Amino acid sequence: MDTMNIALPENMKQFVQQQVAQGGYSSVSEYIRGLIRSDQKEKARATLEVEILQGLTSGDSSAMTDDDWREIRAAIQNRHGHRRQA
């Protein structure tokens, strides 16, 4: 794991230290990693919402056929098939 140093104003440093003490974190690093993970999840959720909205406004819908579902399953299996092998 790489190390990254950051500079914080005193009031932010105190806030982080309070969160570590009160939030059950074992270290400042654990707290910061938690913040980053939370931000990553939020960004992924926002990206998914944009894609859903694009799909909803992309035009008229049509009924899915058995062939459509087979193609979707095959594409997903091809994309994620390596996970079963690991």
pLDDT at 69: 96
**Calpha distance 51→56 (Å, rounded):** 9
pTM of the model: 0.66
Cα angle value 16/26/6 (rounded, 5°) = 40
Digit-by-digit pLDDT tens for the chain (86 residues) are: 899 999 999 999 999 999 999 988 999 999 999 999 999 999 999 999 999 999 999 988 889 999 999 999 999 999 887 665 54
Q: What is the DSSP letter of 59?
A: S
Please give the pLDDT value at position 83: 62
How high is the pLDDT of residue 66? 96
Which pLDDT score is estimated for 85? Answer: 54
Which residues lie below 8 Å from residue 8, measured CB to CB, with a gap of 6+?
A: 16
What residues does each domain of the chain span? 8-56
Q: CB count, 10 Å around CB of 13? A: 13
